[in-house]
Structure 1
């Protein structure tokens, strides 16, 4: 959702009517960005419950084995049902959807409207995964009387790509692409919640399977504080917060939310799960990373790309592996130096306003 808000605000500022279709659980985020939310789809918890009901065997499998199927066959049909009515009533000039949202291209194709895919900022999936995706989304397309398009319609009319070239020089499968500087949640909603004097940031996103893994969070905090770093951790769970404070004492600050651009200004290290938002915020500030890769395909691609670019060390979920990664980053000056170089590349990328003429030309 967050990457879309930057383009949405730029379109609004250029005088265009913008509506953001998402579940009401994210409407406050959209409203805070100064945009108009429209209800679509189901909530994250509803989707997870339906996945467990429909495919109980997936509870015993890693998320990488079923995540695409869940988003394409459980969430997307509910989004499509709502989008169809919205598009028929409003008939927008263009639809912008994020790369893991599969209903947007179907609703747009049905109405004869061009659509643009907005990348998350992670390296894009390889073309063989795009071909595999067609099997998961074929029913979605046939539900409105259409044959599934190659790669499920992703990138059909263009890609807005916040992934810097240092992490993926050539986006696979893309004919038309516009580079855009990644924006953080703070930039999207104008938040200014700051914490001073932080030297390390630990955060594992918002997906519960990663964000609420107390053993991994504790290991990451321990690795940072053992090096004498004053460490900020974000979690929304009070019990996890208490455990982390017990673990780190005065060396740990726990918040439910933090302003990353302000926190990162004093950071020497970020420990995270490889989510695009956190990684790109860190690299925009020239801060190197220790990435705890736990199996999500996009996060694995990001972790591998960061390691190959020399801006991160990749760790497993065990404490020993996290210690090794943290120490490698802190003890290898070239990792931080390389992160500063990538920061220059990111900050030279165009802001969303620069894309508006190209988007207008599609209408």
Structure 2
């Protein structure tokens, strides 16, 4: 039961692939406490929303195909490493492009019944702007490491360790400002047009919209993260490790035979990972191990060549499988990495992009696994797997870190602070 009278929450969420399970997990926790929760989301998320007992409201008010892919699916960042192209794609498909529709829709939904609190995805800038204009308090969910430049934190996407010298700190500031300016060039004018329609002042810096939130909830662990100077509104709330609704328990079986069990879990969205996954499968086929490869919705298992001791399936409940595994191989998605660490399992990480290089360097800095390039050969991957499985320090470090993360989950302030209005 809730600590106070039931309250009314309006979530404004976007389908970011791996961000969906933790954000829906937050919804579930409020529903379980007896609150009313409505969720504005893409139709691709409808099943997930309804499964936790919340009310689903589509972003598009008219008829839409059930389970239609999100607009962000057009952002194919795995196809380029050019920073300008990446920034333009993120602005077009995730931040500025959807903002006007988000703002108008949230304004109309909130006008029918005013919520006590709006809770948004990190990239739902239009929803934040509409909440601003309606003088509604809003919180922001960030289901990964902090993505906004901050003193002490390496710039997002670089995979760098924290700077230890004045020159290194200067490098981080310059790169952080450059990335903000680059993204702002493509996103800021359109966001300010939205704010003008809403009757609110323009943003000077892109991130000012996020900083207007009452709280920014980091759904990660302070023990996992590097220390940084974060705004006073940021809260480490601990990871939310719910499995996605499409992860079916009846689609997998533990590979037969003997040898350590290795779980392979790369991105659930399209990051051009087919060749990387095949190299991982080929690496496992060379070793005396058993492999379980989950491809997720982005990759058809039939596109891959398996082996005698390597099972390839579309999905499996990762928290259940990780408890049986000896090692996890992943692209470095935040959810998979934290699930592995909470279970005390070491990792081999092949980061593809986004926040993944940052997650990978946090794993290696804690001694809980190895980082390998996504283009690595099967031979190189096999060597990394053998090293981690045969060297006790990696598993010991993962177990130590896992204990700290579990303690943070147990004392998470997330629900209490969401209820404290």
Out of 24, 29, 34, which is 1:10 matched to?
29
For residues 418 and 113 of structure 2, what CA distance do their matches in structure 1 show? 18
Distance verdict in 2 for CA 1:39–1:183, change over 3 Å:
same
Aligned to 2:153: none
Distance 2:389 2:129 in 1: 47
2:368 to 294, 311, 332: 311
Which residue of 1 is the match for residue 203 of structure 2? 148
Cα distance in 2 between the residues matched to 1:238 and 1:358: 35
Q: Which has the higher helix share?
A: 1
Distance 2:149 2:107 in 1: 30
User: C-alpha separation between the residues in 2 aligned to 1:253 and 1:25?
Assistant: 28
TM-score, normalising length from structure 2? 0.74
Q: Root-mean-square deviation (CA), in Å?
A: 3.1
Q: CA deviation at 1:22?
A: 0.9
Aligned to 1:242: 302
Report deviation, 1:84. Answer: 2.3
- Give the conservation status (yes or no) of the 8 Å contact 2:36–2:54: no
Residue 38 of structure 2 contacts residue 57 of structure 2 at CA under 8 Å; is this kept in 1?
yes
Aligned partners of 1:58, 1:247: CA distance in 2, in Å?
24
Partner SS, residue 312 of structure 2? strand
Of the three residues 309, 317, 326, the one matched with 1:268 is 326
Is the contact made by 1:64 and 1:297 (CA closer than 8 Å) also made in structure 2?
Answer: no
C-alpha separation in 2, matches of 1:341 and 1:239: 34
Shift of 1:226: 2.2
**TM superposition shift of 1:257:** 1.2
Taking the aligned partners of 1:16 and 1:352, their CA distance within structure 2 comes to 21
Does structure 2 conserve the Cα–Cα contact (< 8 Å) formed by 1:232 and 1:252?
Answer: yes
1:214 is aligned, of 274, 282, 287, to 274
Indicate whether 1:39 and 2:96 are aligned: no
User: Residue deviations 1:64-123, cap 9 Å, x none?
Assistant: 444432311223333333222212222211111222332232121111111112111235
Check the 8 A contact 1:123/1:171 in 2, yes or no: no
Aligned to 1:90: 113
Q: Which residue of 2 aligns with 1:323?
A: 382
- The answer to which of 134-143 and 115-124 deviates more is 134-143
Question: What is the aligned counterpart of 1:200 among 262, 285, 304?
Answer: 262
Counting only pairs closer than 5 Å after superposition, residues 99-178 of structure 1 correspond to structure 2 as: 99-127=122-150, 128=176, 131-132=180-181, 133-135=183-185, 136-145=187-196, 146=200, 147-148=202-203, 151-155=207-211, 156-178=213-235
Q: Give the drift of 1:354.
A: 4.5
Using a 3 Å threshold, how does the CA distance of structure 1 residues 237 and 355 change in structure 2: closer, same or farther? Answer: closer
Deviations 1:185-239 (A, max 9, x none): 33879964563368111121221124xx322111112222322221111125798
2:26/2:240 contact within 8 Å kept = no
Deviations 1:244-299 (A, max 9, x none): 3x432x211122110111101111111111111111111111111111112x2311
**Structure 2 counterpart of 1:223:** 283
- Select 1:183's aligned residue among 240, 253, 259: 240
Q: Does 1:346 align with 2:405?
A: yes
Q: Secondary structure at the match of 2:306?
A: helix
Do the aligned partners of residues 299 and 238 (structure 1) sit closer, same or farther apart at CA in structure 2, a change above 3 Å counting?
Answer: closer
Q: How many matched pairs?
A: 352
1:291 aligns with 349
* C-alpha distance after superposition, 1:146-190 (max 9, x if no partner): 322651422532122222123324355321333333233338799
- Gaps (5+ residues) in structure 2? 1-19, 151-175
Deviations 1:18-68 (A, max 9, x none): 11111111101111122222101695464455x69xxxx996555744443
In structure 2, how many angstroms separate the alpha carbons of the residues matched to 1:8 and 1:233? 29
- 8 A Cα contact 1:186 1:259, kept in partner: yes
- How far, CA to CA, are the matches of 2:412 and 2:364 in structure 1? 31
Give the 3 Å change call, closer, same or farther, for CA 237–275 of structure 1 in structure 2. closer
Summarize the Cα distance change of 1:199–1:285 in structure 2 as closer, same or farther, 3 Å threshold.
Answer: same
Structure 1 residue matching 2:348: 3-state secondary structure: strand
